[in-house]
Structure 1
């Protein structure tokens, strides 16, 4: 039928497996420890699965299948469900994945089909010689299961074009309605449906013809009908519905005696350590990545080494870990005072463990107020490179904790706002209140902006030109009106603001620009002039 091909590489582990080498009874490769199914270890002599399943060449069902295979091969396909003519196979192939209905020359699709054959129709389920755990007394049971499957449950899907009656039904696989092609049909429609002779009235989309348990596409459209589940199964899952499967050797169990564990039922002796094959029946074991290990192997392979004593941390000891480092429970202690740190807060420094007290005493920051350490959970206040406990961060004057309130620096200390305003803040020379913002200075004294005003009109003087008279400030306009000399020509005040120049003569005053001849208006600044009563004249006009 088929033979194991030793040396086939592994598709799963990526460890550079040198080739499949079978375990004496486990369904795995002793080269890479991966499952047997991960290696392409079977090469079928024929695409006809009925021969793999043990059907006779003279069986009527075999003749029907052989005829359908000839039709498929004539148009370049490996297999075909029943009911398709040559012209229909190519069209039907559009509705399924290439690996479900592979072309003979499509190597990738054929390999995927081959893997599906190996998974769904494993040789140990159909051939006694492929079983390593089958005893002579159990061979009759094997044949009875095989006969029950082949005679009562096995079938090959049949293709039908969607009829009006089919269009009233839904796909048993996905539950969606079957849609018959037509002029008024919008969107996708279904040209073909699959039927199973055992499942009267049930229909499947071509892409939905899958095993109800493993959800894999049924290889070459062969199925086994499960009356209990009222659904189609692959050969593997159908056999498992009737007999337990040993997870170690992947063979069906026909023996009355078996071992049960969390993994399921095992052949007697097959519930064993995944490393040394020692039987675990009646012994303690540990599961690692769903594989059982005896205590000795688990400790040798997986047990961590204690950071303190460098011994292995056995299964009977607690393994305490921190940042990929491990300790025995008895070794997990402070490196300074040797106090146990189990269920206690701890800290590390240069990979050494310390209890909270020792770590604080040796390494924790200290308060600049009381020189004591900051312990875990304490509030820390920092300012200008210094740090304080909450109760040590005090006002310079009132010595009360500042906490989260505003403060003002004073030399190297700090003051709360009320104390700073009371002791050190500038006060307005007029209203005596603290100047918090917008202050101005006049003759060395501080004022609020709104308090420095003209002594006559009370206009605010901040930012404008003003002068003083008898220690009182006046705006330029009030000062000119109240105290400035008047120009004899224009009668306006001579204030001197803006660099104004003026001329004085015999108790009379003029702006420089107003000191002109009263007749010809020539400017007389720096020139000779004559007087005629209240008038001044240039020498020409005074003749």
Structure 2
């Protein structure tokens, strides 16, 4: 007759209860000694006749699987883990859950919530102050400790660009006490953005320095480049002609004539020494 023995102790298993593991039979005693999990709560083996409840590689007897605070059973119930302790949802909420900024009720574990600047809301409580619709994952804009969806903020609070008439929701430029989008505040002539750049104006229109000089600045009689007069630039004026200070020199010897006497010969200016023979 073929033998049917325990794979470990080799005692006969005929007429006895046994457990198969990897197609090998074990008597109950050997199986529990070799393979039974140890209960996290009572530290005793979880026998074959007991239900083995597991969570993250930890094991409990069914009777030992309870809340660490109140002792209520967690079998077939939702629970939360905190610092290796298992807690029922009531105890976890009381100890650790945040409270909704709007309704002041506990935000239960596993429910979706919104967080902003250290405060928490139920997803359905995080709403636009104006239209009362949930904001969810959409963009929003805070104002005076209240949150607004973008369309409501634009209707109620946003300044409107004096150029395009559309709302300004971020950044912006103020010129002559009027609001502009940065992308709308451009040079009147070349249309390059002026935000963050030096610019000047004429007849209330803004110009970049290059365009202003090309259009309106007087030209130096010496180098023919524009004299902007901006930033304290010094220049010399004589008989409807202008020179940069650095260009106001004797035509013959190049001596600077700033603060000196000079003579003119047609369109040229000369120092007294070079002009004494004319």
TM (normalized to structure 1)?
0.38
> 1:104 is matched with which residue?
none
> 1:415 is matched with which residue?
148
Gaps of 5+ in 2: none
1 CA distance for matches of 2:142 and 2:216? 47
> 2:25 is matched with which residue?
290
Alpha-carbon offset, residue 398 of structure 1: 3.7
2 CA distance for matches of 1:347 and 1:453? 58
Q: Describe the SS at the equivalent of 1:290.
A: strand
Higher Rg: 1
2 CA distance for matches of 1:290 and 1:534? 119
Does residue 392 of structure 1 match 2:120?
Answer: no
Report which of the two has the higher share of helix.
1
- How many aligned residue pairs are there? 266
Residue among 344, 362, 369 paired with 2:77: 344
2 CA distance for matches of 1:522 and 1:312? 107
> 1:327 is matched with which residue?
61
Alpha-carbon offset, residue 313 of structure 1: 7.0
> 2:2 is matched with which residue?
245
2 CA distance for matches of 1:328 and 1:304? 13
1 CA distance for matches of 2:221 and 2:32? 120
Gaps of 5+ in 1: 1-243, 249-262, 264-273
Alpha-carbon offset, residue 379 of structure 1: 1.1
Alpha-carbon offset, residue 405 of structure 1: 0.9
Change (3 A) 1:482 1:319: closer
Change (3 A) 1:436 1:408: closer
The answer as to whether partners of 1:450 and 1:460 remain within 8 angstroms in 2 is no
Alpha-carbon offset, residue 432 of structure 1: 3.0
**Cα RMSD between the aligned structures?**
4.7
Alpha-carbon offset, residue 403 of structure 1: 0.5
| Structural mapping, 1:347-496, within 5 Å | 347-348=80-81, 353-410=86-143, 414-435=147-168, 439-442=172-175, 445-455=178-188, 457=189, 459-460=191-192, 462=194, 466-476=199-209, 479-480=212-213, 483-485=216-218, 494-496=227-229
2 CA distance for matches of 1:484 and 1:508? 13
Alpha-carbon offset, residue 497 of structure 1: 4.8
Residue among 254, 257, 261 paired with 1:528: 261
1 CA distance for matches of 2:139 and 2:169? 14
Change (3 A) 1:442 1:247: same
Alpha-carbon offset, residue 414 of structure 1: 4.0
Q: Describe the SS at the equivalent of 2:258.
A: coil
| Structural mapping, 1:51-70, within 5 Å | none
Alpha-carbon offset, residue 402 of structure 1: 1.2
Cα deviations across residues 246-271 of structure 1 (Å, max 9, x unaligned)? 345xxxxxxxxxxxxxx9xxxxxxxx
The answer as to whether partners of 1:529 and 1:538 remain within 8 angstroms in 2 is yes
Report which of the two has the higher share of strand.
2
Cα deviations across residues 424-449 of structure 1 (Å, max 9, x unaligned)? 54543333323467855545654335
Change (3 A) 1:279 1:291: closer
2 CA distance for matches of 1:337 and 1:492? 88
1 CA distance for matches of 2:25 and 2:217? 108
2 CA distance for matches of 1:481 and 1:309? 91
The answer as to whether partners of 1:299 and 1:312 remain within 8 angstroms in 2 is no
Alpha-carbon offset, residue 305 of structure 1: 8.0
TM (normalized to structure 2)?
0.65
Cα deviations across residues 31-68 of structure 1 (Å, max 9, x unaligned)? xxxxxxxxxxxxxxxxxxxxxxxxxxxxxxxxxxxxxx
| Structural mapping, 1:218-297, within 5 Å | 244-247=1-4, 281=15, 285-287=17-19, 290-292=25-27
